[in-house]
Structure 1
Amino acid sequence: MGGSSKATVTEIEVAGHTVRLSSPDRVIFPGRGFTKADVFHYYLAVGDGIMRALRDRPTTLQRFPEGIEGEMFFQKRVPTRGVPPWVRTAKISFPSGRSADELCPADLAHVAWAAQMGTIVFHPWPVRAADVDRPDELRVDLDPQPGTDFADAATAAGELRVLLAELGATGWPKTSGGRGVHVYLRIEPRWTFTEVRRATIALGRELERRRPDLVTTAWWKEERGRRVFVDYNQMARDRTIACAYSLRANARATVSTPVTWNELPDVEPDDFDLRSVPARLTERGDPHAGIDDAPFDITPLLEWAERDASAGQGDMPYPPDHPKMPGEPKRVQPSRAKREAGEPA
């Protein structure tokens, strides 16, 4: 990086606000040669799509001020100084009891400001500022395990589509930007994080019953096998997923990209990157354009959860750093639990 790069500052009008862009020539993705200006203008180019994913959502910023090979940190708290007066925040509470005023994008200028600050990945909460304790988005994270790949996750997503259709629900798929697939449901913001997580577990278990060869909800890796894991804990409070149209911090500068159900089986996730996605969005429009139109009532999923509990399938372990929750089973690996009980592992 040369001194001239650092000295270069331009001001750009975005959504009625003036946003600074400094060090535009700084290389952020060395493998592709993409610069800070490329990242900044990428986010402007996908503005409608990413605002559909981020608007009014408390958002954690994954920042790489010196590029993806430099230091990385997650920023949950917007600084109290040096921030434009128009930047909006929303106060959210973590399971630890602590709270933070997180960036809450009201318009595209917020995204541009975050990009100027070295943000590569946007991690919104599944809530809106109007009610930060009740999710309006149920997220199904289909995570391929060793021995499986994106094609398996896409197949699992197709099975999920059938299941959702039986419920009268519409799922909205996107690539994770890696090997996985995310399927989002808009839901009515009536339920707590605990309830929405229970609904996600019930949905995952039903999917697992239908395709036990392909899908697993097993929290412990030793029990998953060569299957696609439904990571139900992505609906635990304080867990977030890279949003639609967010870049990912990998060598190819891939993008978590909305796709149609029909194209999902045939797409190659590496084809969606900083260069290709803006043109795709311009030419085809946003496959998630209708995501806000018909929120789903998760009552049937909560009834499934009650049915499962009556059959002995209750709650499942939370992430290791999450406080112990009522009704949660022990957070002990099954093989270790057997050894401690004197049983053969």
Structure 2
Amino acid sequence: MRGNGQESFRAACEAGMEGIVGKKADSAYSGARNGDWIKLKCDQRQEFVIGGYTLTDRKTSGVSSLLLGVYTDGELVYAGRAGTGLSEADMKELAGKFADLQRMEPPFQLAPKPRPKEKITWLEPELVAEIKFAEWTAENLLRQASFKGLRRDKNPRDIKKENADDDKADEEIQPQSAAQETVRVMETNTNGIIIEGIKISNPDKVIFADSEITKGDVIRYYAQVAERMLPYVSRRILSIVRCPKGISQTCFYKKHPGPGSKEIVTIPIATGGGEMEDYFYIENTSGLIAEAQMGTLEFHTWGSRVDELEKPDLMVFDLDPDEGIDLSRVRQGARDVKNILAELSLNSYLKTSGGKGYHVVVPLKPAVAWDGFHNFARRVAEVMEQKWPDRYTSNVRKAKRTNKIFIDWIRNGRGATSIAPYSLRARKGAGVSMPIAWAELDLVAPDGVNMAEALRRIGGNDPWQDFFRNNQQLK
């Protein structure tokens, strides 16, 4: 086949093939590696937490392989090892970082055993690596994993297993004709229901067993909150959490489009290493519903819109308290962030996280690039740490958080994401990351708004109604 190389390559990868062979049009196969014939392999990439490293008896120093993991239900689960891709410069950098992170016990829920003639050094799970790999094995381990670099903009606790095959699930999306869409937002069907022109399969499937919330309930929720939610989600790069069999079964994290994805827009974006990768976003209610039909519960967004991808306009500070910290201290932390920002003439807004802390959100005009944006967020967290060293830390390392609140500023880097306003959380109770008024801070707990309460609230006044009318910007 002459031409259409990118289309052929994408089709091969989506069909589950290993890749394609490309050649110069006028070249004959010689068997020599001269660049006339090349293999293009369908590798996958994602981030993993480094939980240790090995050193074989053939080396006296350095790193033989990295031991990698992902978080599942709050536990670090071993995912395999990466033993290639490590240059001398990489090993030197890693050795310096590993020196302060060594620990006696493995951080993994079930730790791998050392192979013959190798030593394992366990590490605090505080570094994130970008890994290229061929596939997941049947044992949920990586095959042909290769180190591509550290990701300093990622919070290790956010690293979950991504799934490239999830769009092949039995959930079926069938967009209806425009005429059908305009009849009613929702109508019954012999095989299920239709919402925003999307046929919903298995609407009675239980997603949140503790609350007896079904898939149909989840999709109706997103249909009802769409008007409030879309201004914060539309045309922003998404990372999503899918739980197609409910939160009691395996959920997975996804940031790249896959075969079968509907009602999304795919966009190629340059990675930190200069390579192009496909990401995706949605534009309307149909996109929101289509994702929910595929089992998506959580929507996480970039801090910029695709129209100004390199100029972020949404800054988020996530208050992450150490275990056992009283809620009154977390509330005071939110007030302190608000006051620091006010001293800088910046208005901020409050929402629940659906978890342990609050999120303080700052709307901005897209004026500065990611580096300046990221550095500004870091400096705000550092000011809080310096002003109240017994209360707050800007250090992501868990060992530095004892009896303190981590002011998570890392979410403000290029490629990092934060949970979207009005998004459900894939946790017991069907919590929502809900916008609330500052006057409600002492009345609403971080996990105090569930799906039913969120629906009740959107019938009232919008506490963020002037969010997009701010004209503030960084310089």
Q: TM-score higher than 0.5 here?
A: yes
Matches within 5 A, 1:225-236: 225-236=402-413
Matches within 5 A, 1:152-171: 152-171=329-348
2:187 is the alignment partner of 1:11: no
Which one-letter code corresponds to 1:158 in the other structure?
R
Q: 1:238 aligns with which of 370, 390, 415?
A: 415
Q: In the alignment, which residue of structure 2 is the partner of 1:247?
A: 424
Mean Cα deviation higher: 107-116 or 65-74: 65-74
CA offset digits 1:85-125 (Å, max 9, x no partner): x5323333333544443332211111111000100000111
Give the direction of change, closer, same or farther, for the CA distance of 1:98–1:22 in structure 2 (3 Å limit). Answer: farther
Mark the runs of 5 or more structure 2 residues left unpaired by the alignment: 1-189
In structure 2, distance between residues paired with 1:189 and 1:133: 9
Q: In the alignment, which residue of structure 2 is the partner of 1:304?
A: none
2:236 is the alignment partner of 1:57: yes
Matches within 5 A, 1:153-232: 153-232=330-409
In structure 2, distance between residues paired with 1:108 and 1:151: 37
Is the Cα contact below 8 Å between 1:90 and 1:103 reproduced in 2? yes
**Which structure features the higher share of helix residues?**
1
* C-alpha RMSD of the superposition: 1.9
Q: In the alignment, which residue of structure 1 is the partner of 2:248?
A: 69
In structure 1, distance between residues paired with 2:441 and 2:380: 20
Is the Cα contact below 8 Å between 2:354 and 2:448 reproduced in 1? no
Q: In the alignment, which residue of structure 1 is the partner of 2:225?
A: 46
Is the Cα contact below 8 Å between 1:53 and 1:243 reproduced in 2? yes
Query: Which structure has the higher relative contact order (CA within 8 Å, separation 6+)?
Result: 1
Which one-letter code corresponds to 1:131 in the other structure?
E
In structure 1, distance between residues paired with 2:207 and 2:388: 41
Is the Cα contact below 8 Å between 1:143 and 1:179 reproduced in 2? yes
In structure 2, distance between residues paired with 1:237 and 1:273: 30
Q: In the alignment, which residue of structure 2 is the partner of 1:257?
A: 434
Is the Cα contact below 8 Å between 2:352 and 2:447 reproduced in 1? no
In structure 1, distance between residues paired with 2:351 and 2:383: 21
Q: In the alignment, which residue of structure 2 is the partner of 1:120?
A: 297
Once the 2 structures are TM-superposed, how far is the Cα of residue 149 of structure 1 from its aligned partner?
4.4
Mean Cα deviation higher: 184-193 or 63-72: 184-193
**Which structure features the higher share of strand residues?**
2
In structure 2, distance between residues paired with 1:295 and 1:89: 30
Q: In the alignment, which residue of structure 2 is the partner of 1:130?
A: 307
- Say which SS state the counterpart of residue 467 (structure 2) adopts: coil
Q: In the alignment, which residue of structure 2 is the partner of 1:343?
A: none
In structure 1, distance between residues paired with 2:274 and 2:284: 29
With the length of structure 1 as denominator, give the TM-score of the two structures. 0.78
Once the 2 structures are TM-superposed, how far is the Cα of residue 215 of structure 1 from its aligned partner?
1.6
Once the 2 structures are TM-superposed, how far is the Cα of residue 210 of structure 1 from its aligned partner?
2.7
Give the direction of change, closer, same or farther, for the CA distance of 1:139–1:208 in structure 2 (3 Å limit). Answer: same
Mark the runs of 5 or more structure 1 residues left unpaired by the alignment: 1-6, 300-345
Which one-letter code corresponds to 1:21 in the other structure?
I
Q: In the alignment, which residue of structure 1 is the partner of 2:204?
A: 25
In structure 2, distance between residues paired with 1:111 and 1:150: 33
2:458 is the alignment partner of 1:275: no
Once the 2 structures are TM-superposed, how far is the Cα of residue 294 of structure 1 from its aligned partner?
1.3
Mean Cα deviation higher: 68-77 or 95-104: 95-104
Is the Cα contact below 8 Å between 1:76 and 1:100 reproduced in 2? no
Which one-letter code corresponds to 1:297 in the other structure?
Q
Which one-letter code corresponds to 2:352 in the other structure?
T
Once the 2 structures are TM-superposed, how far is the Cα of residue 268 of structure 1 from its aligned partner?
2.2
Give the direction of change, closer, same or farther, for the CA distance of 1:149–1:281 in structure 2 (3 Å limit). Answer: farther
Q: In the alignment, which residue of structure 2 is the partner of 1:287?
A: 463
Give the direction of change, closer, same or farther, for the CA distance of 1:274–1:109 in structure 2 (3 Å limit). Answer: same
Report how many aligned residue pairs link the two structures. 286
- Say which SS state the counterpart of residue 234 (structure 1) adopts: helix
In structure 2, distance between residues paired with 1:153 and 1:52: 28
Once the 2 structures are TM-superposed, how far is the Cα of residue 187 of structure 1 from its aligned partner?
1.7
Give the direction of change, closer, same or farther, for the CA distance of 1:263–1:125 in structure 2 (3 Å limit). Answer: same
Q: In the alignment, which residue of structure 1 is the partner of 2:183?
A: none
Is the Cα contact below 8 Å between 2:367 and 2:474 reproduced in 1? no
In structure 2, distance between residues paired with 1:99 and 1:241: 22
- Say which SS state the counterpart of residue 125 (structure 1) adopts: strand
With the length of structure 2 as denominator, give the TM-score of the two structures. 0.57
